């Protein structure tokens, strides 16, 4: 047991910081953090594009991938340093659906053709993916999905409806769970298909969530023809792949580093918010509550390190990753709520984007992004397997109940 | 001891319930909000005809002489319907200041118009630095001949965009946070030097940043006594706190009932999710939070009607603490148990969640009222 960084680690940290300051400098950071534009849009701003290109040039775009596909040879400490530093500077990340979720499935179970076709494009963020999992009747009970794929010659014909599909309106491709056989057990008979969003028969309908945010969609699939070479792994084994992928998703959702940034911001906002001639940060009641969150977050951060260390010694994160998902989303939501509380009355204004563009923000410039993040963040304890489902996983897989 | 409503109170409650039931479904509300003003003048007219705008005003002023309990009844129902018409801003805040501090001429000029629905008002009390401290007033009122000149920035003025007149708190003497030396002024919405930046709020209301840049008013614009505005503000805000709390109680009722209903319909893993014990207990907790908040609401309303003083202030603060905690829990869990549906603009649940969240930071959050409860 040892937490200290070696000289080599410190040198690496300095290298990372320099890279970040060059390609994701302070002014760009602030402009992005105070932007009230939340919707996912097609393409990237020039600043984000530059950052992603720089990552690829340096070979740092996908540190966790196998080296043959562009991963790094970093040890766990270096990966930790990278995650911390990029989170602290709020560096843009590659779209998670491709880089964090689909890629591990592809480099583990995909064909050579699939790897060659998709992995480089995901790494360079030239192909955006969405995740076709949930359906109107299959939320927490994901294995109850009803979208069917029927094999006809060299194609699957897919029919069904996917719901809550994040970013489907900007995605080039969708990885999708479909039912290929009505087996005895609902988890059997599910296959993992890659679908080009330009295929005829796909309709994407927006679902606006709280705050008028367009992030999720309903995706209708009507006689969508998918070449059989877009099947990942074996037919009817899709559930196994999807489960592996969900543990990765959960680990990502914990968002410890993101919460640390938000907590630091909350403190700054409290210091800048007036109260009785001083600042809100002088208020012991408020300060105590923020400090409680800080301790919660620290505990989670160490728990995450333990999970990561375990992963580094071989294999995917275990069911313990559910702890990260549950506590991570609870803490993230609590920080967002406290930030809204810190704004006091100024948490209320929710002006049209054009008004902000023309006349600037109302109150603190972080209000709109915080509010949108708070509203959107209520979904974090629902998606990726709701927190109730995570507790079922822990009670069954860890406690053996 | 009696927790039942009188016959008149029951009639009032029934008339609001009928309106919410028949004329204010969620789609209607959505359409109303999408309009330019963000509420319906037609509805407002109907409120006037039904006598709701007259509720808290004395009979000699044309009102029906209702007290805190009547306000509670109105606001609880408006909360159930998530009503966006500016009842709080006009009747309770601006109207409240006139009711407690207005002279005959002022009441004559404004209260009748409020009651018949022809004038709307707003209370401009908060400032960018003030947070929940009503005495933290940096807006200045400088004597100028017989009248005053007002300058300053009033923050997040609810109902500001539709206000024909404002009641503005300004400092005529004393230091930055002295309770003494604050004076209330009646200012016309189109007064020279008054400008507003209007915007929607996240929970579906409308508000303004109001800037006063050398606004001249006459001596007759002083509402109440010079320098004595703080006591009026405190009483008005306490009534308004009861009002938004009651609104929250109404919202919580819909949240827990709709969630229970949804849990009976939504099937996952081959059974309605309401069959899962972990969710059953969660909904029991929601129900208990609602009931606890309702108890504190009754206490606050009855204490206010007994007379305004330390006991009433404490009851109001206790209620607001309970509402803050209960409202968050009920709102958040309603969203959680509705799953993705709870997150949508399309379903009412998320909108209740937003309103409940914002009510927590209106007129003082839990921390503020805990402190006040302990100090009174």
3-state secondary structure of B154: strand
Q: Which long-range contacts (CB under 8 A, 24 or more apart) does B195-201 make?
A: B196/B157, B196/B160, B196/B161, B197/A359, B197/A362, B198/B160, B198/B161, B199/A349, B199/A350, B199/A351, B199/A352, B199/A355, B199/A362, B200/A350, B200/A351, B200/A352, B200/B38, B201/A348, B201/A349, B201/A350, B201/B156, B201/B158, B201/B358
Q: What mean pLDDT comes out for the span A175-193?
A: 91
Q: What is the pLDDT of residue A242?
A: 87
Q: What is the pLDDT of residue B314?
A: 98
Interacting residues of B8 by C-beta distance below 8 A, sequence separation 6+: none
- Parse chain B into domains and list their residue ranges: 7-119, 122-227, 231-375
* A207/B contact by beta carbon, under 8 A: yes
Q: Among residues A196, A139, A200, which one has the least CA distance to residue A168?
A: A196
- Out of B176, B202, B269, the one facing A350 most closely (by C-beta) is B202
- Out of A276, A286, A348, the one facing B358 most closely (by C-beta) is A348
DSSP assignment letter at B83: -
Residues of A labelled as active-site residues: 249
Q: What is the pLDDT of residue A253?
A: 64
Q: Which long-range contacts (CB under 8 A, 24 or more apart) does A80-84 make?
A: A80/A305, A80/A308, A81/A5, A81/A9, A81/A12, A81/A13, A81/A16, A82/A16, A83/A257, A84/A257
* A344/B contact by beta carbon, under 8 A: yes
Tens digits of residue pLDDT in B34-80: 999 999 999 999 999 999 999 999 999 999 999 999 999 999 999 99
Q: Among residues A366, A360, A368, A379, which one has the least CA distance to residue A264?
A: A366
- pLDDT category at A146 given cuts 50, 70, 90 is very high
Question: What CATH architecture does domain B231-375 belong to?
Answer: Up-down Bundle (1.20)
Chain A residues whose CB is inside 8 A of the B199 CB are: 349-352, 355, 362
Task: Say if the Cβ atoms of A209 and B126 lie within 8 Å.
Answer: no
Q: What is the pLDDT of residue A277?
A: 94
- pLDDT category at A320 given cuts 50, 70, 90 is confident
Cβ atoms of residues A98 and A114 within 8 Å = no
Query: Is it true that B122-227 and B231-375 share their CATH fold?
Result: no
Q: Among residues B75, B90, B61, B95, which one has the least CA distance to residue B236?
A: B95
A positions 85-124 inside 8 Å of B (CB): none
Rounded distance between C-alpha atoms, residue A299 and residue A297, angstroms: 5
Percent over 70 (pLDDT), chain B: 100
Tens digits of residue pLDDT in B218-264: 999 999 999 999 999 999 999 999 999 999 999 999 999 999 999 99
Interacting residues of A362 by C-beta distance below 8 A, sequence separation 6+: A346, A349, A351, A356, B197, B199, B209
Rounded distance between C-alpha atoms, residue B212 and residue A277, angstroms: 22
Chain B residues whose CB is inside 8 A of the A137 CB are: 267
- pLDDT category at A336 given cuts 50, 70, 90 is very high
Tens digits of residue pLDDT in B301-349: 999 999 999 999 999 999 999 999 999 999 999 999 999 999 999 999 9
* A285/B contact by beta carbon, under 8 A: yes
A positions 303-342 inside 8 Å of B (CB): 333, 337, 340-341
User: In the CATH scheme, what is the homologous superfamily, with its name and number, of domain B122-227?
Assistant: Butyryl-CoA Dehydrogenase, subunit A, domain 2 (2.40.110.10)
Q: What is the pLDDT of residue A251?
A: 63
Tens digits of residue pLDDT in A210-227: 988 899 999 999 999 999
Report CA A178 to chain centroid distance, whole Å.
22
Q: Which fold has domain B7-119?
A: Butyryl-Coa Dehydrogenase, subunit A; domain 1 (1.10.540)
Q: What is the least distance, in Å, from the CA of A285 to any CA of chain B?
A: 6
Domains of chain A: 7-93 (no CATH), 129-236 (2.40.110.10), 255-398 (1.20.140.10)
Tens digits of residue pLDDT in B170-185: 999 999 999 999 999 9
Candidate from A6-15, A25-34, B328-337 with smallest mean pLDDT: A25-34
DSSP assignment letter at B347: S
* A346/B contact by beta carbon, under 8 A: yes
Rounded to the nearest 5°, which phi and psi values hold at B286? -60, -45
Q: What mean pLDDT comes out for the span B340-359?
A: 96
- pLDDT category at A309 given cuts 50, 70, 90 is confident
Containing H/E element for B171?
A: strand B165-171
Between chain A and chain B, the number of residue pairs with CB atoms below 8 A apart is 138
Structure ipTM: 0.96
- Out of A277, A362, A388, the one facing B278 most closely (by C-beta) is A388
Q: What is the pLDDT of residue A252?
A: 63
Task: Say if the Cβ atoms of B340 and A164 lie within 8 Å.
Answer: yes
Helices (H), B63-209: 68-80, 87, 95-101, 104-116
Q: What is the pLDDT of residue A56?
A: 97
Task: Say if the Cβ atoms of A208 and B328 lie within 8 Å.
Answer: no
Nearest chain A residue (CA) to B271: A141
- Out of B267, B268, B343, the one facing A378 most closely (by C-beta) is B343
Task: Say if the Cβ atoms of A210 and B345 lie within 8 Å.
Answer: yes
Interacting residues of A157 by C-beta distance below 8 A, sequence separation 6+: A149, A150, A151, A223, A224, A225, A226
Containing H/E element for B158?
A: strand B147-158
Question: What is the Rg, in whole angstroms, of the alpha carbon atoms belonging to chain A?
Answer: 22
Reading the block at residue A97, the tokens are 């659906």
Task: Say if the Cβ atoms of A345 and B155 lie within 8 Å.
Answer: yes
- pLDDT category at A39 given cuts 50, 70, 90 is low
pTM: 0.95
Cβ atoms of residues B67 and B31 within 8 Å = no
């Amino acid at each position: 047991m040892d937490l200290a960084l070696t000289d080599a680690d410190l040198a690496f940290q300095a290298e990372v910081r320099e890279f970040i300051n060059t390609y994701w400098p302070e002014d760009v950071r602030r402009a992005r953090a105070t932007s009230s534009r939340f919707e996912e849009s097609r393409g990237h701003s020039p600043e984000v594009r530059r950052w992603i290109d720089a990552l690829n040039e340096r070979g740092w775009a996908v540190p966790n991938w196998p080296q043959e596909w562009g991963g790094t040879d970093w040890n766990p400490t270096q990966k930790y340093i990278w995650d911390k530093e990029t989170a602290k500077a709020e560096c843009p990340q590659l779209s998670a659906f491709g880089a964090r979720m689909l890629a591990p499935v592809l480099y583990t179970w995909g064909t050579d053709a699939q790897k060659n076709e998709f992995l480089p494009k995901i790494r360079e963020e030239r192909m955006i993916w969405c995740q076709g999992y949930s359906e109107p009747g299959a939320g927490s009970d994901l294995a109850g999905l009803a979208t069917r794929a029927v094999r006809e010659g060299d194609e699957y014909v897919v029919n069904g409806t996917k719901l809550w599909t994040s970013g489907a309106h900007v995605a080039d491709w969708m990885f999708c769970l479909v039912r290929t056989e009505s087996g005895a057990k609902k988890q059997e008979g599910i296959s993992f298909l890659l679908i080009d969003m330009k295929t005829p028969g796909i309709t994407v309908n927006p679902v606006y969530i709280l705050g008028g945010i367009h992030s999720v969609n309903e995706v209708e699939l009507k006689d969508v023809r998918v070449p059989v070479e877009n099947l990942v792994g074996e037919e009817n084994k899709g559930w196994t792949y999807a489960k592996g992928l969900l543990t990765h998703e959960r680990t990502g959702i914990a968002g410890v580093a993101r919460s640390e940034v938000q907590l630091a911001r909350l403190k700054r906002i409290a210091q800048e918010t007036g109260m009785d001639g001083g600042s809100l940060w002088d208020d012991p009641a408020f300060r105590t509550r923020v400090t409680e969150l800080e301790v919660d977050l620290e505990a989670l951060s160490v728990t995450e390190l333990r999970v990561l260390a375990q992963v580094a010694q071989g294999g995917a994160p275990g069911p313990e990753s559910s702890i990260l998902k549950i506590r991570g989303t609870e803490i993230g939501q609590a920080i967002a709520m406290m930030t809204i509380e810190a704004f006091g009355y100024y948490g209320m204004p929710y002006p049209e984007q054009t008004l902000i563009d023309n006349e600037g923000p109302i109150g603190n410039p972080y209000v709109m992004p915080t509010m949108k993040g708070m509203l959107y963040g209520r979904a974090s304890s629902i998606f990726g397997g709701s927190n109730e489902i995570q507790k079922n996983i822990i009670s069954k897989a860890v406690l053996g109940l | 001891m009696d927790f039942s409503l009188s016959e008149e109170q029951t009639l009032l409650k029934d008339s609001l319930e009928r309106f919410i039931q028949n004329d204010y479904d969620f789609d209607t509300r959505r359409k109303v909000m999408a309009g330019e003003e963000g509420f319906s003048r037609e509805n407002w007219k109907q409120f006037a005809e039904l006598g709701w705008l007259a509720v808290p005003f004395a009979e000699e002023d044309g009102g029906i002489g209702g007290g805190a309990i009547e306000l509670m009844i109105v606001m609880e129902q408006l909360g159930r319907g998530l009503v966006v018409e500016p009842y709080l801003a006009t009747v309770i805040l601006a109207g409240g200041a006139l009711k407690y501090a207005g002279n005959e001429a002022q009441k004559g000029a404004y209260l009748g118009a409020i009651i018949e629905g022809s004038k709307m008002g707003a209370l401009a009390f908060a400032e960018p630095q003030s947070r929940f401290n009503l005495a933290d007033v940096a807006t200045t009122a400088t004597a100028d001949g017989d009248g005053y000149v007002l300058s300053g920035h009033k923050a997040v003025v609810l109902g500001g965009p539709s206000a024909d007149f404002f009641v503005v708190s300004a400092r005529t003497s004393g230091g930055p946070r002295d309770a003494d030396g604050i004076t209330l002024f009646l200012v016309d919405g189109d007064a020279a030097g008054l400008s507003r930046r209007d915007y929607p709020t996240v929970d579906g209301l409308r508000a303004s940043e109001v800037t006063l840049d050398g606004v001249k008013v006459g001596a007759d614009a002083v509402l109440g006594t010079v320098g004595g505005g703080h006591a009026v503000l405190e009483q008005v805000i306490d009534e308004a706190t009861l009002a938004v709390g009651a609104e929250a109680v109404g919202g919580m009722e819909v949240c827990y009932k709709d969630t229970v209903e949804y849990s009976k319909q939504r099937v996952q893993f081959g059974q309605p999710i309401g069959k899962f014990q972990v969710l059953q207990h969660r909904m029991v907790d929601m129900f208990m939070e609602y009931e606890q908040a309702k108890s504190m609401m009754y206490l606050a309303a009855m204490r206010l009607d007994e007379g305004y003083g330390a006991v009433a202030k404490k009851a109001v603060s206790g209620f607001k603490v309970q509402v803050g905690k209960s409202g968050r829990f009920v709102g958040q869990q309603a969203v959680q148990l509705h799953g993705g549906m709870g997150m949508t603009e399309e379903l009412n649940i998320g909108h209740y969640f937003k309103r409940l969240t914002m009510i927590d930071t209106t007129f003082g959050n839990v921390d503020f009222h805990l402190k006040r409860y302990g100090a009174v």
